Amino acid sequence: MLIGYEMFLLAAEELNFSRAAERAFVTPQCLSDHIKRLEAHHHVTLFRRRPHLELTAEGAAMLRYLSRIKALEYRMKNELADISQGTRGTIRLGIPTTRGTILVPSMVPEFQKQYPNVDVQVRLNDTHKLEDLLLSGEIDLFLGVDAKEHPLFDKIELEREPLYLVVPETLLRTYYGDKTNALLVKAYQEGIDLASLPGIPLVLGHSASTTTTAVSNFLMQKHIAASLPIQVSNFSIMIDLCRSGHYSTICAQLNLQQLDWTGILPTKERLHILRIKGLTYELTNVIVSHRDSQSLHYVDEFKDLLKKFIHLENAYVALQLQKLQNTMISR
């Protein structure tokens, strides 16, 4: 920052030229000359000298902008020092529980291979809670689904994910009987009609869940009767309930990464994963940071890696789903 601006900031803070000059290790006349040159350069009066020293409206405006510039300069110096001396810092990440379970164990160690001195603090919560945590400054960024629009949000939209019905074959046979095999082949090709499963017991997350809201709206719009006997936020518990043979669930594609695909088709407890007819809604993954947050290279790298791992995990699930579909259609 130019010396004249530094002198102005001291004078604006002290509102006394003598004290400001003392802090700057110059004479009051020298400091006053710097202020006069600034006023002449910008064609404004920055201070009223009588009856006591105070900022004019123009001076207050300059103070506001120079304070921001000083803060940015401070951050720049710190970042340059980090780069030259070995990057250090902390990333406070918010992420929904299931996505955190899938992504954090693989992604964060990969990130810290490149940035061993950057700590990562993870907060698990639903998207709407993470939005509040970002606005209150408790996290630096979050991965969410269908995050709301907000003037202070800087959003990076990623790929979209369809929803799937996870249902045990034993439950389907209570509806279709001997026609189950033939209907399953058709369902893997065209999707399943939930209206053909009246009262199907669905295990969903709590009412604040993005997926639960989407499913509830779909059932209401299509006038589909379903039973909702259990609400649970843990996806592993949902799948265990499905494996019992008495429940089904609807989830986003990425969640299916947690399934044991090598054993997805056991003889007795076969789970089927089917698209749902008429359900065109897809979740949108989004990385959200604060619009006014400091831009740091390692945070940008973290975002890029997060984007990469979401794509890789979704691609893996899509491949397994294609294999499952091919197996079921050809059996």
150 lies in the same domain as 295: yes
Please, which pLDDT band fits residue 266 given cuts at 50, 70 and 90? very low
Looking at the predicted structure, is the pLDDT value of residue 262 above 70? no
pLDDT above 70 covers what percent of the chain? 94
CATH of the domain at 28: 1.10.10.10
In a domain, residue 165? The reply is yes
In a domain, residue 327? The reply is no
In a domain, residue 250? The reply is yes
In a domain, residue 79? The reply is yes
Please state the pTM of the whole predicted model: 0.72
In a domain, residue 272? The reply is yes
217 lies in the same domain as 169: yes
Structure confidence by residue, pLDDT tens digits, 46-67: 999 888 999 999 999 999 888 8
CATH of the domain at 261: 3.40.190.290
54 lies in the same domain as 100: no
Looking at the predicted structure, is the pLDDT value of residue 260 above 80? no
In a domain, residue 320? The reply is no
Q: What is the count of structural domains for the chain?
A: 3
149 lies in the same domain as 213: no
In a domain, residue 199? The reply is yes
Structure confidence by residue, pLDDT tens digits, 171-218: 999 999 999 999 999 999 999 999 999 999 999 998 778 899 999 999
Domain interval for residue 200: 160-281
Structure confidence by residue, pLDDT tens digits, 3-28: 999 999 999 989 999 999 999 999 99
According to the 3-state scheme, what is the secondary structure of the chain? CCHHHHHHHHHHHHCCHHHHHHHHCCCHHHHHHHHHHHHHHHCCCCEECCCCCEECHHHHHHHHHHHHHHHHHHHHHHHHHHHHHCCCEEEEEEECHHHHHHHHHHHHHHHHHHCCCEEEEEEECCHHHHHHHHHCCCCCEEEEECCCCCCCEEEEEEEEEEEEEEEEHHHHHHHHHHHHHHHHHHHHHHCECHHHCCCEEEEECCCCCHHHHHHHHHHHHCCCCEEEEEECCCHHHHHHHHHCCCCEEEEEHHHHHHCCHHHCCCCCCCEEEECECCCCCEEEEEEEEECCCCCCHHHHHHHHHHHHHHHHHHHHHHHHHHHHHHHHHHC
103 lies in the same domain as 246: no
